[in-house]
Structure 1
Amino acid sequence: MPYDSRHKAQRRNPWLVVAVACLGMTMSFLTITATTSALTSIADDLGLGPVELVWTSSAYALALAALVLSSGALGDLAGRRTVFQAGTAVMGLGAVVTATATSPAAVITGEVVLGAGAALVVPNSLALVAGAFTDPRRRASAVGVWAACSGIGLAVGPVVAGALLNAWTWHVVFLVDVAVAVVVLAASPFALPDPRVPGRGVDVPGTALATAAVAGLVVTVVEGGRAGFTAPVPLLAALGTALAAAGFVAVERRSARPVVRFGVFADRRSVAALLVAGVALFSFTGLALLATLQMQRAQGFSPLASGTRLLPLTVAYVVVSSLAAAVVARAGARATLTAGLASTVAGVLVLHGATTGYGREAAGFVLVGAGLGLLIAPTTALVVGGVAPELTGMAGAVVTTVRQVGTALGGSVLGTVVTHRLPAHGGALTPAVHDGLLVAAAVLLLVLLATAVLLRPAATRPAPVTARDTPGGILA
């Protein structure tokens, strides 16, 4: 399915396209960990309870994950720059709502609006970056830059938030998004093309069912941790999740314009990449939440001091992620992802055993950061690099959905473990956080084993997929 003829007429400097698209996307990932770092200040100011704390840390990622699946198709239909700009404007609006919030409900509402905007920004920024290059190698390099920038946004969030919180109130943290949104909106008309893919449409029933399934899953986890999984609300949410997921599969198999073509699951490399992409963001955001709670609540460090103590994680991540593409080229995807998962597991276990002194804690952060640096960028490149340019919008939406489901579950699952285990430890936070770390390690180990199986050597490697190859095939 070709781009429409206006795409060629709108050619821009490809690396300028990458710069502006990545700036908008980096804002959407920086918001995740910046919000986590500001949680303690928000909770103290607005009196957040344990469940409200978990919802505040999860609402952004929940909205992003629930809405992102159709935004790639929307960009193909209405124009990728147009939808990217709309998402940037919505993020700016959500940042204003959050920054001016005076109640827990207002903060959560602002986070939902921010997430809805990010759902429009992230997959379309990826599609713009991938579509800026025709040469496969340069395209792969650009996708790697995009993926690395997403992780850099996650990595610098705690430091940026800590520095701002040291000088001002938590409200100022969200005004950063407003400033970045203004810059991106001003630069987009000059830097970005606005390609469309004729014949695309938005699968409304599929999108609605996917949204319901993702939202129901997070409600099940959060409310189950609060009231027990046999209570009416989590039981009904779990039932609704199962029905929505089953309905989504049934609708997509019959849809003329499905959100996802399930042929993607025939490719073991794509399945492994998506699985690892989800658990990488689960780990990053969940561990950031646990570390923030431990440092600020249990150890009494300020937000700036907490962000500084997380520097070993962020520096290790930035350094290793910049080398990840070369590592994949030399060692292969299987060895790279296995090493990344193993390093992250080891780091989590070191953090679990770090009871006194900062040295062991710093070593754990280095291992986690290095491991995640080998996971986040390569998984995106593996999924998007396996499809033709006209499919990158939808491929980006799929990988972003998986990553943001991981993000939403990282905060909600591990946060719920901590709040659920607090009574068992007499209200002591540190042992409850350590229980959360054990859950994270168990999840990572399971994914490590699954990835080793999925990426075992095969006799032949499948060719890249195009839209023409698969009427019910990989991604649409």
Structure 2
Amino acid sequence: MTITDTPTPPVSARRRWAGLAVLSASVLVVVMDMTVLNVALPAISEDLRPGSIELLWMVDAYALVLSGLLVTVSALGDRWGRKRMLMAGFAVFGVASMAVLAAGSPLEVIAVRALLGVGGAMIMPSTLSMIRNLFTDPGERAKALGVWAAMAAVGAALGPIVAGFLLEHFSWHAAFLVNVPVMVIAIAAGLFLLPESRNPNPGRWDVLGTVLSMAGMVALLYAVKNIGKYGLTSPGALLAAMLAAATLGWFVVRCLRRPDPLLEVRLFRSAPFTAGVITALTTSIAMAAVLLLLAQWMQLVQGYAPLETGVRLLPAALAAIVASPLAPGLAARIGARAVLAGGLALTGLGFLLLYLAPSPLGYGPVAGALVLIGAGNGALAIASAAIMSGTPAAKAGSAAALEETSYELGGALGVAVLGSVAAAVYRQELEYSGPAAGVVQESLGGALDAARELGAGELAEQARQAFTDSLVLTGGAGAALVLAGALAVWFLTPRDLDVLSEH
């Protein structure tokens, strides 16, 4: 995707930072929506009684749709205007959030989540590419990305708190409505504060590339989900995996051969760019699964109310809020490579603490793990800076699409792969073959419902212990993944990489 932005007049410092506030508000809401679901999922499950597949789709529909559309929507934004795409994304996200009021079945909730994914796909790449064009000075840009990453942490902190408060006073539908006023304010402010930018010479639209990218991403995630659930011998999963390999391989070859590709995959020739993407991907894979499991553990095992759960998840977000703005200054002192790899290592140690915590697992080790994980996530600000500093302004749209695809694909893969590991451990540890065995082994919520109906307190305790064991082992798997990512990033990132100046 060749991007030659239309000339725009210089943007004053006041307007740049005010524009950043609008862009940061968008990521805040998108992250809030993801954390809201973690807290609201038990209430949704109790009300709608979804099956296991429906439950997985409630979690994955958002990331699946968003990931599948990121490349296409980013390219459309370069043609139509990034500001227009962002404003339209705000509108779609707000309408989808209101549509949850009419959702009374699992399929309707899945549809709402999918529509939210459409809005998210319109919002996320626009924010990063606009930051790249708003802040032309690398040092200022790194600070702006630090603020942007910190606002994502604020969203992670506010989501569980707001969702918990609303769930204690209203139905689960209300947890999604918090997006609406923020979207209205973002539209009003963005119309006045954000400059427009687009590609005046985008070349021919690659229709085949569009189809290949969307079909390939959907097939890939379908394959991962089903291999995790049914194993490598699942015919549907194997067929989807082959389709994904064929379509995505064809798409990459097509992009490499075209002078105006839909996605500039040549960016991966830059080691700093690749290191930044690996940082985003590995962090997202581990975080998505473990935080989802922790939210359920706190409510269904520890017995915390939704609001209490939100408060107890705060340490990770608060640590990230502190670490993200400090990351650029730390990178100036000790180097970007040390911050990138060190942040991942710190996150990995957090997951390792969860794995090594004494049994029975209590909140103390969990809180310590959350602090380490959140502090390590401060490196994501430098990951974004590495991706953007290693990318010409003309390729900002592709860089943004690839970074956001890493985050969203990582989240979906985390839930699918590590979530499937957790489910397999849960079933193995439970070893129950009595009445309603299928329901009991399907999920902890189902096991607790069955135990209440059967008057089997021992079964409920066994299910809680099995779920806790699955959480601990998943933490160990997350630690191994993130620490391996830290090693890869250390060797990939040039020792003298400076994200605070142009190369």
Do they fold alike, i.e. is TM over 0.5? yes
Report SS of the residue matched to 2:9: helix
1:407-422 correspondence runs (5 A)? 407-422=411-426
Q: Provide the rounded CA distance (Å) in 1 between the counterparts of 2:42 and 2:81.
A: 40
List per-residue Cα deviations over 1:440-463 (Å, max 9, x = no partner). Answer: 1221122122112212537999x9
Q: Aligned letter for 2:125?
A: P
Q: 1:10 to 1:86 in 2, by over 3 A?
A: farther
The alignment status of 1:382 with 2:420, answered yes or no, reads no
Deviation of 1:226 after TM superposition, in Å, equals: 2.6
Deviation of 1:266 after TM superposition, in Å, equals: 2.0
Q: 1:308 aligns with which of 292, 307, 311?
A: 311
Q: Provide the rounded CA distance (Å) in 2 between the counterparts of 1:8 and 1:203.
A: 31
List per-residue Cα deviations over 1:124-176 (Å, max 9, x = no partner). Answer: 12222222233333233223322332333234322221222122221111111
Aligned position for 1:242? 245
Contact kept, 8 Å, 1:285 with 1:411, in 2: the verdict is: yes
Deviation of 1:336 after TM superposition, in Å, equals: 0.8
Q: Aligned letter for 1:106?
A: E
Aligned position for 1:471? none
Deviation of 1:217 after TM superposition, in Å, equals: 2.1
List per-residue Cα deviations over 1:240-263 (Å, max 9, x = no partner). Answer: 111112111121122232133333
Contact kept, 8 Å, 1:387 with 1:464, in 2: the verdict is: no
Aligned position for 2:262? 259
Q: Provide the rounded CA distance (Å) in 2 between the counterparts of 1:388 and 1:262.
A: 13
Aligned position for 2:478? 440
Q: Provide the rounded CA distance (Å) in 1 between the counterparts of 2:407 and 2:347.
A: 17
1:1-400 correspondence runs (5 A)? 2-5=4-7, 7-8=8-9, 13-201=15-203, 202-354=205-357, 355-373=360-378, 375-400=379-404
Q: Aligned letter for 2:422?
A: V
Q: Provide the rounded CA distance (Å) in 1 between the counterparts of 2:107 and 2:323.
A: 39
List per-residue Cα deviations over 1:17-42 (Å, max 9, x = no partner). Answer: 11112212221122111112211111
Root mean square deviation of aligned Cα = 2.3
Q: Provide the rounded CA distance (Å) in 2 between the counterparts of 1:136 and 1:340.
A: 21
Report SS of the residue matched to 1:8: coil
Aligned position for 2:408? 404
Q: Alignment length, in residue pairs? A: 462
Report SS of the residue matched to 2:162: helix
Contact kept, 8 Å, 2:66 with 2:120, in 1: the verdict is: yes
Q: 1:322 to 1:10 in 2, by over 3 A?
A: closer
Contact kept, 8 Å, 2:209 with 2:262, in 1: the verdict is: yes
Deviation of 1:45 after TM superposition, in Å, equals: 0.9
Report SS of the residue matched to 2:377: helix
Contact kept, 8 Å, 2:361 with 2:468, in 1: the verdict is: no
Contact kept, 8 Å, 2:348 with 2:483, in 1: the verdict is: yes
Contact kept, 8 Å, 2:153 with 2:317, in 1: the verdict is: no
Contact kept, 8 Å, 1:57 with 1:412, in 2: the verdict is: no
Contact kept, 8 Å, 2:29 with 2:155, in 1: the verdict is: yes
Contact kept, 8 Å, 1:312 with 1:362, in 2: the verdict is: yes
Q: Aligned letter for 2:483?
A: L
Contact kept, 8 Å, 1:218 with 1:409, in 2: the verdict is: yes
Deviation of 1:299 after TM superposition, in Å, equals: 2.1
Q: Aligned letter for 1:149?
A: M
Contact kept, 8 Å, 2:82 with 2:198, in 1: the verdict is: yes
List per-residue Cα deviations over 1:37-73 (Å, max 9, x = no partner). Answer: 2111111111123332222112111211111123222
Q: Provide the rounded CA distance (Å) in 1 between the counterparts of 2:10 and 2:349.
A: 51
Gapped regions of structure 1 (runs ≥ 5): 466-476
Q: Provide the rounded CA distance (Å) in 2 between the counterparts of 1:135 and 1:151.
A: 24
Contact kept, 8 Å, 2:96 with 2:115, in 1: the verdict is: yes
List per-residue Cα deviations over 1:383-402 (Å, max 9, x = no partner). Answer: 01222333322221111111
Q: 1:186 to 1:38 in 2, by over 3 A?
A: same
Q: 1:423 aligns with which of 405, 412, 427?
A: 427
Q: Provide the rounded CA distance (Å) in 1 between the counterparts of 2:243 and 2:502.
A: 36
Q: Aligned letter for 1:307?
A: G
Contact kept, 8 Å, 1:48 with 1:104, in 2: the verdict is: yes
Q: 1:454 aligns with which of 486, 492, 495?
A: 492
Q: 1:310 to 1:90 in 2, by over 3 A?
A: same
Q: Provide the rounded CA distance (Å) in 2 between the counterparts of 1:192 and 1:147.
A: 19
Contact kept, 8 Å, 1:52 with 1:104, in 2: the verdict is: yes
Q: 1:289 to 1:77 in 2, by over 3 A?
A: same
Report SS of the residue matched to 1:134: coil
Gapped regions of structure 2 (runs ≥ 5): 431-462
Deviation of 1:2 after TM superposition, in Å, equals: 4.2
Report SS of the residue matched to 2:91: helix
List per-residue Cα deviations over 1:325-347 (Å, max 9, x = no partner). Answer: 11111111211122111111111
State the TM-score, normalizing by the size of structure 1: 0.91
Q: Provide the rounded CA distance (Å) in 1 between the counterparts of 2:166 and 2:51.
A: 24
Q: Aligned letter for 2:366?
A: E
List per-residue Cα deviations over 1:201-236 (Å, max 9, x = no partner). Answer: 543322322222222222122222332221121111
Identity of aligned residues (%): 37
Contact kept, 8 Å, 2:32 with 2:155, in 1: the verdict is: yes
Report SS of the residue matched to 1:422: helix
9-18 or 251-260: bigger deviation: 9-18
State the TM-score, normalizing by the size of structure 2: 0.86
Q: 1:368 to 1:136 in 2, by over 3 A?
A: closer
Larger radius of gyration between Structure 1 and Structure 2: 2
Deviation of 1:9 after TM superposition, in Å, equals: 8.7
